[in-house]
Amino acid sequence: MYNIHNHIADYPDKNVLDIGIDEKEAANVPLFSTGIHPKLIDNTFDEKFKIVSHLASLPNCAAIGECGIDVFSSAEVATQKETFIQHLHLAQQYSKPVIIHCVRAYSDIISAINATHFSLPVVMHSYNGNIQTSQHLIRRENIYFSFSDKCLTPNCAASKSLVIIPLERIMIETDDSSLPLKPIISLIAENKRVGEDIVEKSNNQLFSQIIKCNS
Ligand SMILES: [Zn+2]
């Protein structure tokens, strides 16, 4: 199984490891993403972003992120939005997709995407938006929804949204969990009334389409 977003380096298959700004890790893994998590934005941001900018230029950099806006971050939302826009510009510079962390800030995320005319793929990671948010986001063709084990919580927003998000826009990730992907695949298969192999195939196809690096 391909894994669009992961924090644990030993995932066996095609995997985008979120390395943050770890330059050593960048040299060791086939595919990585680099960015500054919105909860880690502080007065060292500019310094750290220089490292992100360098890492983004490497051939095994598959994506920029996770980056985004989180209302529970100690940084102000306006600051987070500015730094998110910097990540979007960087992604545009290297034509790389973006992996987004968003907690209760979808409208700010969308307005940043609009402000930068960002048209590369956008992956909403560990997606947990409600049906209304999902209806809104689906209208944008470059937005993809990646589900982690959070969607397994009974009656959560993510599991309800699964009903309306087309399979062609659904991805699967482990995030920071070491649990297998199988239960997530089963939930999606059940919702979409297809076999688990179809869900797996669709995820892998989408991964290959979005991640242009060939390692
Ligand atoms: Zn993560």
Number of domains in the chain: 1
| Per-residue DSSP letter, 16 | E
Dist. CA 6 → ligand 1 center (Å): 6
**Model confidence over 79-88: pLDDT tens digits?**
999 999 999 9
Residue 76 lies in a domain: yes
Residue 131 lies in a domain: yes
Residue 97 CA to residue 121 CA, distance in Å, equals 5
Dist. CA 5 → ligand 1 center (Å): 7
Residue 215 lies in a domain: no
Compute, in degrees rounded to 10, the torsion defined by CA atoms 118, 122, 127, 133.
40
What is the residue range of 64's domain? 3-210
Rounded to two decimals, what is the model's pTM? Answer: 0.95
Residue 54 CA to residue 95 CA, distance in Å, equals 14
| Per-residue DSSP letter, 168 | G
Dist. CA 176 → ligand 1 center (Å): 6
Dist. CA 196 → ligand 1 center (Å): 24
Residue 31 CA to residue 29 CA, distance in Å, equals 6
Dist. CA 117 → ligand 1 center (Å): 25
Dist. CA 20 → ligand 1 center (Å): 10
The residue among 133 and 215 whose pLDDT is bigger is 133
Dist. CA 146 → ligand 1 center (Å): 11
**Model confidence over 16-56: pLDDT tens digits?**
999 999 999 999 999 999 999 999 999 999 999 999 999 99
Dist. CA 7 → ligand 1 center (Å): 6
Dist. CA 111 → ligand 1 center (Å): 22
Q: Which string of b and e fits 7-24 if b means at least 16 CB within 10 Å?
A: beeebeebbbbbbbbbee
Report strand pairing: 3-6 vs 61-70: unpaired
| Burial class (CB within 10 angstroms; exposed 0-12, middle 13-18, buried 19+) of 154 | exposed
Task: Assign residue 73 the CATH number of its domain.
Answer: 3.20.20.140
